[in-house]
Structures are given as structure tokens and as C-alpha cells.
Amino acid sequence: MGKNKKAPDAMSKIVALCKRRGIVFPSSEIYGGVGSTYDYGPYGVEMKNNISRLWWQNMTLSHDSIVGLDSAVILHPNVWEASGHLKNFTDPLIDCKQCKARFKADDILVEGQETTKSPQCPRCGTKDSFTDVRHFNMMFKTNMGPVEDEAAIGYFRPETAQGIYLDYKLTQDTARLKLPFGIAQIGKAFRNEITPGNFIFRTREFEQMEMQYFVRPGETSKWLEYWREERWNWLLSLGVREEKLRWLQHPEDKLAHYAQEAWDIEYEFPFGWHELEGLHDRGDFDLTCHQEASGKDMTYFDAQAKERFIPHIVEASAGLNRAMLMLLCDAYREDEQEKETRVYLSLDPKIAPVKAAILPLVKKDGLADLAKEIYNNLRGRWPLFLDIQGSIGRRYRRMDELGTPFAFTLDYQTLEDGTVTVRWRDTLQQERISKDKIGEFLADKL
Ligand code: GAP
């Protein structure tokens, strides 16, 4: 490291690794990039799909009475009027009068619960030189059809939840559900964030994994408690270190306009403790708003009790991209191997984008052909990486950086007795197994 060069911080290292290893790329880079917009490369998309699949399986398979939905991104514009998003889904905005930089007012004017006495511009350092706070709606507007007039305005959904509320009766009816039941959805959401940042932590286009749980009035506390435990345990099942997670309850004056009670699970990112996902008691707010605005009956009829009422909703809302960043940060490790720094991602095999590497020690003497044969026999079952060329050390390092949990190496002994070496990513432990047992080995570990 040169004298004036600062050692890269943890986040810069993770961002660089993601680009180097095909996990996350800055979007539109050949045009200079669009701020805070990212593309998921070949291994990023695998990892993201692993997380969303595990969430989906957990919700729809491991729980009784939770079904899926995939609703539209652009809903009827009246939805956002009714849901309160047009009026309330705003961020307070201020500008520095000196350098004209724009900030979320809360980031500058509030420290903990207190108002900052002499606020300072983080960009130019000027003190007490801010405009008044203005409220800025975070929804992205668009035009439906070719005519750009008021009547044709549409909005990209800022949360996937509203599509679930609109379809809740059709879903309940067609899936023949009885309270309590849930509807799960994974999909894109869009927010015109004033200050996106911290890599994929806060972006303007992102994916949510949301589950709305419909319950009887008076039962929200019980179910909120249930879902708090479920969500915590799900995160632990992904291999996250528990000491890096904590709960934060929203104070009453900071609740979103739809929430009666709200809890965040926070993770200790390299840039501090921040929200990972949220649990909300939304009461009957959303269904009542839609009933009033649409004039359509949003009640549920309990045939046994002969009662009709609007169900209350407990929501578990997680960000897919944020969950991925959390897993990358949690898994990032460095150790010393033969006087060199080794970087690896200690990802749970369920999350790892590539499950195993097949590596012939050398290309010649039939080892590469045998490696190809093994790879071809197994590749339909798991994402594997066949890497034939280059120094074996460098090939191991590449796989370590991708978080590949196992490497199977073929050497001259393989030609004699049909065994390969299994190398474990984290411990570097090595053992020999028969090449015919690789499938069994992986099936046992994955
Ligand atoms: N339906 C409720 C809802 O949307 P939220 O707390 O605003 O609640 C839920 O968002 C989750 O969505 C957050 O916990 C976070 O994981 C993710 N999220 C929200 N805004 C985001 C953004 N700009 N970029 C990435 N993820 C975001």
C-alpha cells in the first residue's frame, strides 16, 4: 500500500469483489453509470434466486394457509390515493444553500431523538445554511398510453403489498382460505429515494419479499409475536451470525401512515446498524381505505360464527437485495495462507451461487476429460463450475471468493484408484473420496 493510499474499507472490498466475481455490476457502466443502480451478474442472480426461493418455500410450503400472488407493478392510480401513499409517502427534503447538495432532512437535522443544534452540511461543511424542509413524494410517476395528461398518470408501486390487498378476496375465494391466512409476493418496488446509497442497501429499484397475514380483529398482537419469531429464525437458518441481528421498535411518532405497531430487524452492516426487514401491524387500515374509495365490499364472512368483518393485517416485509447484501457482508472473510491474504465468502451452501468446483490438477494426461465427464454427469442437479486451466492455487482462490463451499480436485492418483480430493472452503480441510461418490457427497451437504 503506497504512503498516501488509504486501505480500502470493508464495503469497498465487498463492492470490488462483487464486480470482480460476477455477482453485482454497476448498471449502464459504458454510459458512465446511473447512480445507485445495479445489475446482478451470473453468480449474483443465482445467489439472489437462492434467497428468494428459500423465502418462498418457507412462506408457502412451511406454513399452513399461505399462498402466492404475482400482481401488477402499475396498479390503478386511485389505489395510491386510497392507500394514503400520494399524501403520506414522502420524505422531508432540505438543500444546503451554499453548495446546493440535497439531503433527507432526518439525516441532517435529527440525531437520535434530538434535533441537531447547529446542523452542518456533510458535503461542504457549512453550518446552519439549509432551506426549509419540503416534502417530496417518493413514488415514480409514469404515463399510461401515449397521451401525457393528468388522467393518464400511473405510479410504479412503492411496495408490493397493495396488489395483495386488492386481490385478497379473489385469492381467499379461489384458494378456499379461512382466517388466519397469508398471501406472499416477491416482486419489484420503486422509490425515488433522495439519498440512495451503500451499494445495494438503498436503491430506487429493488425487490421486496412481502407476506400479508389476514387475521381476526383483536388477534394482531398474537400473530405479530408469532411472525417476529418466525422471521428471526428464518434469518438464522440462512447462517447469519445472531449477534449481528437486533430488534428495533418504531416509536409512535415515527410509524408509517398505515402502521399501528412496527418492528425492524436490524443488521450490523459495515456502515452501522440498519433496517434489514420490517414487521407491521397494519390493522384494518388498508382494506378499510380500499373499501371506502372503491365502494366495493372488502369484508370477510365467517360462515361458522355468521360474522362479517374487515380482517386485520400483520405484514412481514423484507428487501431481497438488502438480504443479499447482509449475507455478503456476513460471509466476507480474510485469512492468511502461505503469507498471502486469502479472501473468501463463508456462505451457507444453500445460499452459495456455485455449489462445487471440478478441477483437474493439470489439463493433460486425460485429467481434463475425466473432469468434464464428472461435471457432465452432475451439472443437471446443481450449479457447478468446471475450471480446467491455470494454476490450481488461483483456481481455488477464485472459487473461495465466490463462496463455493467444495472443490473436487482430480490428480494422478485419480487415474490410479478413482478417488478425488474434496477441499472444504472455510477450513481448507482435504479428504479423498471416490469420484463416483461426489453426487452422494453433495446431496448430503446441500
Ligand atoms: N410494505 C411495507 C414496506 O414496504 P418498508 O419498511 O418501507 O415497508 C420493507 O420496506 C423492506 O423493503 C425494508 O425493510 C427493506 O428491506 C426494503 N427496502 C425498502 N426501501 C428500499 C430501498 N430503497 N432499497 C432497497 N431495499 C429497500
Distance of CA 182 from the midpoint of ligand 1 (Å): 19
Domain of residue 427, CATH code? 3.40.50.800
Asked if the structure places residue 390 within a domain, the reply is: yes
Pocket lining: 202 vs ligand 1, CB cutoff 6 Å: yes
Task: Compute the distance from residue 420 Cα to the ligand 1 centre, in Å.
Answer: 46
Pocket perturbation via mutation, ligand 1, pick of 200, 317, 329 by most ligand atoms within 8 A of CB: 317
Select from 144, 7, 133 the least CA-distant residue to 74.
Answer: 144
| Residues 312 and 398 grouped into a single domain | no
In the reported structure, the alpha carbon of residue 319 is separated from the centroid of ligand 1 by a whole-number distance in angstroms of 6
- In a domain, residue 342? The reply is no
Cα 202 to ligand 1 centroid, rounded to whole Å: 8
Do 234 and 184 meet the contact criterion of CB atoms below 8 Å apart? no
Q: What pLDDT is recorded for position 350?
A: 96
| H helices present in 89-176, as ranges | 105-109, 161-166, 168-174
Ligand 1 pocket check for 198: Cβ under 6 Å = no
Residues 436 and 324 in one domain: no
**CA end-to-end span of the chain:** 40
Residues 320 and 361 in one domain: no
Identify the helix (H) or strand (E) that includes residue 50.
helix 42-56
Four-point Cα dihedral 144, 148, 153, 154, nearest 10: 30
* Bridge partners of residue 424, in order along the sequence: 406
Quote the CA–CA distance of 372 and 359 in Å, as a whole number: 9
Q: Where are the alpha helices (DSSP H) in 159-280?
A: 161-166, 168-174, 220-237
In a domain, 282, yes or no: yes
- If asked whether residues 170 and 245 sit together in one domain, one would say yes
Do 53 and 103 fall into the same domain? Answer: no
Provide the pLDDT for residue 112. 66
Domain range enclosing 184: 40-84+159-329
Same-domain pairing of 406 and 290: no
Q: Is 162 in the pocket of ligand 1 (CB under 6 A)?
A: no
Residue nearest atom 19 in ligand 1 by C-alpha distance: 319
58 found inside a domain: yes
- Residue 178 located in a structural domain: yes
Assigned domain for 25 exists: no
315 Cα to the center of ligand 1, angstroms: 12
Same domain for 367 and 260: no
CATH number of the domain within which 274 lies: 3.30.930.10
pLDDT at 1: 44
Look at residues 102, 137, 172 and tell me which one is the last residue of a structural domain: 137
CA dist list (Å): 244 to 9, 272, 435: 19, 10, 39
399 and 358, same structural domain? yes
Q: How far is the CA of 427 from the centre of ligand 1 (A)?
A: 36
**Index of the ligand 1 atom closest to the CA of residue 203:** 24
Q: Is 278 in the pocket of ligand 1 (CB under 6 A)?
A: yes
Q: Which pLDDT belongs to residue 35?
A: 84
Q: Are residues 248 and 291 in the same domain?
A: yes
Helical H runs in 273-366?
A: 285-294, 320-331
Q: Is residue 16 part of a domain?
A: no
Instruction: Indicate whether 365 and 295 sit together in one domain.
Output: no
Q: How far is the CA of 318 from the centre of ligand 1 (A)?
A: 7
Cα–Cα–Cα angle for 37, 38, 42, rounded to 5 degrees: 165
Residue of 159, 213, 264, 267 with the most ligand 1 atoms within 8 Å of its CB, for mutation = 159
| Atom 16 in ligand 1: residue holding the nearest Cα | 319
Question: Is the CB of 267 within 6 Å of ligand 1?
Answer: no
Residues 56 and 170 grouped into a single domain:
yes
The rounded Å distance from CA 207 to ligand 1 centre is 9
Structural domain contains residue 18: no
Q: Are residues 194 and 106 in the same domain?
A: no
- 266 C-beta closer than 6 A to ligand 1: no
Q: What is the pTM of this model?
A: 0.93
Of 259, 294, 329, the last residue of a domain is 329
CA 317 to ligand 1 centroid distance, Å: 7
Tally of structural domains, the chain = 3
Q: Is 322 in the pocket of ligand 1 (CB under 6 A)?
A: yes
Print pLDDT tens along the chain (446 aa): 444 556 679 999 999 999 999 999 999 999 998 888 999 999 999 999 999 999 999 999 999 899 999 999 999 999 999 999 999 998 888 999 999 988 888 888 887 667 888 899 999 999 999 999 988 899 999 998 887 787 789 999 999 999 999 999 999 999 999 999 999 999 999 999 988 999 999 999 999 999 999 999 999 999 999 999 999 999 999 999 999 999 999 999 889 999 999 999 999 999 999 999 999 999 999 999 999 999 999 999 999 999 999 999 999 999 999 999 999 999 999 999 989 999 999 999 999 999 999 999 999 889 999 999 999 999 999 999 999 999 999 999 999 999 999 999 999 999 999 999 999 999 999 999 999 999 999 999 98
